[in-house]
Amino acid sequence: MVLIGPTNPHFQGGIVEYTHYLADALKKAGVPVQVLSFSRPYPKQFYKGSPTAQLNLPEIPGELSLLDWLSPFSWVRVWWHIKTLDTSMMIVQWWTFFWALPYMVVMLLVRLTTQTKIVVVVHNISDHEPSWWKSLLSYMVFWLAHGYITHAKTLQQDLLRMFPHKETNLHLNPIPNTAVSMPQKLDAQKKLNVSSPLLLFFGIVRPYKGLEVLLEALVSVRQAIPSIKLLVAGDFWRDEQRYQDKITALGLQHEVILHNAFILDSNIPLYMAAADVAVFPYITATGTASTKLALRYNLPIIASEVGDVPDMFALGTIGAMVPPNNPTQLSEAIIDFFKHKRNYQKAIQAISKELTWDSLAQSVLTMLHTSYG
């Protein structure tokens, strides 16, 4: 089996963890996996975050960094390597239009010259900043695939409408189940110089993630809970000044704490332990690794009803779900959370046992043994 996706250290974030954890789970299931990764990081204009950082991820034995977005020769080289392996399945991660041309060349050559089944892991059908030409590129990549793995029911339904005769497998994004060491809440808060009640907005800050909606909601929350604080931890995709101006305009300078940096794996437990609840006020989304990260640390979530969030809440009450782009209902959900102090630990632990990398690996193996046209 071949798995194509970004790896550390050239890339960072949830998509990188996905490659590493899936490869590790397939290996544990007894499947020989050849990981083909990218040899060149994004150009700066396509990735506006901080420089890449070393992540604490499972090693990938035999990984080859072959695919270079700038070198068509490397695209042909990847195809030839796959052809030489004579593998039964090629898994391709899709999350951005940027890789469309290299992917299309590799996938077309594989289809024309081998019997390899091509399965695309569809993290997003279209980019977070969509356009017609990006959608067209996505469609061409999907058209070349034999089947798909999705992590949200809405994505599965969209793909079935586009390609009703192709196999589409739904499996919610796994929650990392490796053991973690958590500091005590008071110790974590002391190190970060914060205190309860504390909201956590975690991950790369991009417009679709709705931080501005949360800031508007915080104005009402502050009236009900004067001691409330919001800790924003993650890279700012665009100019931080835009959010600073919003904070100043709303008079929230004393309530909002900004940590504009990529949060290293070693520091994540500190942030998760310090917070009382993680808030994901996304305006649009398909799925996000950040919600799974919070659940990994038994931290309840307040999230917008977009992407895979309804699918997760269908498995258990792990916090509160609110309509997207609605500061009023978001503020009410936050106030209700602190007022009633409900315990969500049993539901979080139950979901964590169900949404594992091992179960995702089994879903992949199921597709391996089904025929295709």
Contacts for 160 with CB less than 8 Å, ≥ 6 apart: 168
Provide the pLDDT confidence category of residue 52 given band limits of 50, 70 and 90: very low
Sheet holding 147-150, edge to edge: 64-67, 34-38, 2-4, 89-94, 117-122, 147-150, 167-170
Same domain, 196 and 154: no
Domain annotation covers residue 373: no
Domain annotation covers residue 258: yes
What's the number of domains the chain is made of?
2
Same domain, 246 and 164: no
Domain residues for 256? 185-354
For the chain, what's the residue count? 373
Burial 59-83 (b: 16+ CB within 10 A, else e): ebeebeebbbbeeeebbebbbebbe
List strand residue ranges (DSSP E) for the chain, in order: 2-4, 34-38, 64-67, 89-94, 117-122, 147-150, 167-170, 198-202, 229-233, 256-259, 277-280, 301-304, 319-322
Provide the pLDDT confidence category of residue 233 given band limits of 50, 70 and 90: very high
Residue 62 pLDDT greater than 80, yes or no: yes
**Whole-number mean pLDDT of the chain?**
91
Residue 50 pLDDT greater than 50, yes or no: no
**In the prediction, which pLDDT does 276 show?**
97
Same domain, 148 and 222: no
Same domain, 103 and 154: yes
Residue 296, both tokens? 């990994």
Return d(Cα 178, Cα 176) in angstroms, integer.
Answer: 6
Q: Percent of the chain scored above 70 by pLDDT?
A: 94
